[in-house]
């Protein structure tokens, strides 16, 4: 579990991608690349008509970037490569011809918010607060920014980025980051399963065409997100970022 794991299950046209990491489902580069590979594989798998993205456990959905790995970044290329993990994952989700349902059973931070935003339909529990904490680290939500902004708009994205505190699931629902919010995990799972079953019985060709329409105007994201990864890759080398992460880890 040190580097986390990714599992895929396919049943009756429904593919589940399940990721986990012992540190609040945080995302080291290895896990990001594995998630990207799974989305790319399922894009070409005719047995999968709809994809459900979920994480293990009943607490955090995703704590974002691995702080352990961020602290080990010593040069620009390593920094860029790490943040390219998020860029490649978001682009894989964007290009995937199948609808992606995100099941958010707990809090989401940073990259976790970006993944929730990159899904086509995001269902969450009422305790699933969200936070873009990157500015506190001395960087910013550069790579996940386009996906988040596409969902909630520039003004709300600026609010989350500048006042990097927790925002409630109710706020996320009002801003369209979440599509629906449920009182508990049982209700959430019921809704996720019902929607996935309905979509799995539908026309894959029609859903593919709809997804192309939903993501119109994002053809430049391969280049855009790579440029954003370069910004983060440079900023994470600063003394400010290193000191913040060290202090954060020492207080855990």
33-38: average pLDDT: 98
Beta partners for residue 78, in sequence order: none
pLDDT tens digits along 169-221: 999 999 999 999 999 999 999 999 999 999 999 999 999 999 999 999 999 99
81-87: average pLDDT: 98
Q: What is the largest CA-CA distance in the chain?
A: 53
pLDDT tens digits along 118-136: 999 999 999 999 999 999 9
* Residue pair 113/144 in contact by the 8 Å Cβ criterion: yes
- State residue 222's pLDDT score: 98
- The three-point CA angle 78-95-178 to 5° equals 90
On whether residue 36 sits in a domain, the answer given is: yes
On whether residue 159 sits in a domain, the answer given is: yes
On whether residue 246 sits in a domain, the answer given is: no
On whether residue 232 sits in a domain, the answer given is: no
On whether residue 105 sits in a domain, the answer given is: yes
68-79: average pLDDT: 95
Q: Which domain holds residue 188?
A: 5-200
The number of distinct structural domains making up the chain is: 1
On whether residue 223 sits in a domain, the answer given is: no
* Residue pair 23/63 in contact by the 8 Å Cβ criterion: yes
Q: What is the 3-state secondary structure (H, E, C) of 51-68?
A: EEEEECCCCCCECCECHH
Report the share of the chain in percent with pLDDT over 90: 95
Mean pLDDT over the full length of the chain: 96
On whether residue 149 sits in a domain, the answer given is: yes
Instruction: Kindly report whether the global pTM for this prediction surpasses the value 0.85.
Output: yes
| CATH number of the domain to which 45 belongs | 3.90.226.10
Please determine, for residue 2, whether its predicted confidence score (pLDDT) is greater than 70: no
On whether residue 249 sits in a domain, the answer given is: no
79-95: average pLDDT: 98
* Residue pair 246/71 in contact by the 8 Å Cβ criterion: yes
- State residue 1's pLDDT score: 43
pLDDT tens digits along 219-233: 999 999 999 999 999
């Amino acid at each position: 579990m040190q580097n986390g794991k990714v599992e895929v299950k396919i049943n009756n046209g429904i593919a589940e991608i399940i990721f986990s990491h012992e540190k609040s489902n945080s995302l080291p580069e290895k896990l990001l690349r594995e998630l990207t590979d799974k989305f790319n594989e399922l894009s070409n798998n005719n047995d999968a008509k709809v994809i459900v993205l979920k994480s293990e456990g009943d607490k955090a959905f995703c704590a974002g970037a691995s702080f352990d790995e961020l602290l080990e970044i010593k040069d620009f290329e390593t920094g860029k490569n790490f943040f390219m993990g998020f860029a490649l994952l978001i682009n894989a989700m964007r290009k995937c011809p199948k609808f992606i349902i995100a099941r958010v059973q707990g809090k989401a931070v940073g990259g976790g918010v970006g993944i929730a935003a990159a899904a086509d339909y995001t269902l969450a529990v009422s305790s699933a607060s969200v936070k873009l904490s990157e500015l506190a680290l001395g960087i910013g939500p550069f790579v996940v920014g386009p996906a988040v902004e596409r969902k909630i708009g520039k003004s709300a994205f600026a609010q989350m980025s500048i006042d990097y505190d927790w925002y409630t699931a109710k706020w996320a629902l009002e801003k369209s980051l979440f599509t629906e919010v449920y009182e508990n995990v049982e209700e959430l799972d019921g809704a996720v399963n019902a929607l996935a079953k309905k979509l799995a019985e539908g026309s894959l060709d029609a859903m593919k065409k709809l997804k192309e329409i939903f993501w119109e105007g994002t053809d430049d994201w391969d280049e855009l997100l790579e440029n954003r990864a370069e910004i983060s890759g440079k900023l994470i080398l600063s003394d400010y970022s290193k000191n913040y992460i060290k202090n954060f880890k020492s207080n855990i």
